[in-house]
């Protein structure tokens, strides 16, 4: 499915469930990983995660589209469009949208690179140790335990 098909799909859902046309842009955004979609307040555009379609199918994405259209229509009508607003919750329930999107399988999530600790700050008075990933100036800080002077040491990274 491409952006043009998504645009037509959202326009159809908007007319069918809300009775109001969707007059802005809709597109897929492959960078969306922790959310199913998002609505932009300034441009009124909607972005949908293609990973949700791939992982959970069209039914789940339709619920996400309804969720984003609730934000869209309520915001344009200057009504309560935020998640906490009663109007939003009521409209979402009426159209059958999802409150939360299903989580992606771990195979679709990006791998996080874990940085090793490279530095250690050690208190000269009490011996308290603070490990850090980035270099910092020990003269600007004091020990949190005894307010003693800190010394910077480079750790061996394996």
Which residues carry out catalysis?
Answer: 68
**Location of structure tokens 């940085």:** 115
What's 107's DSSP letter?
G
Q: Which residues of 49-81 are buried (b: 16+ CB within 10 A; e: fewer)?
A: bbbbbebbeeebbbbbbbbbbbbbbbbeeeebb
Structure tokens at 141: 């800080």
């Amino acid at each position: 499915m491409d952006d043009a098909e998504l645009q037509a799909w959202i326009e159809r859902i908007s007319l069918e469930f809300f009775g109001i046309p969707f007059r802005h842009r809709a597109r897929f955004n492959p960078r969306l990983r922790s959310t199913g979609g998002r609505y932009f307040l300034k441009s009124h555009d909607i972005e949908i995660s293609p990973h949700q379609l791939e992982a959970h199918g069209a039914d789940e994405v339709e619920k996400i589209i309804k969720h984003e259209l609730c934000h869209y229509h309520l915001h344009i009508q200057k009504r309560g469009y935020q998640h906490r607003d009663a109007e939003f919750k009521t409209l979402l329930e009426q159209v059958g949208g999802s409150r939360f999107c299903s989580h992606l399988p771990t195979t679709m999530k990006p791998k996080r690179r874990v940085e090793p600790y490279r530095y250690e700050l050690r208190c000269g008075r009490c011996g308290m140790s603070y490990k850090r990933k980035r270099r910092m100036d020990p003269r600007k800080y004091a020990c949190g335990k005894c307010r003693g002077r800190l010394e910077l040491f480079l750790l061996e990274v394996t």
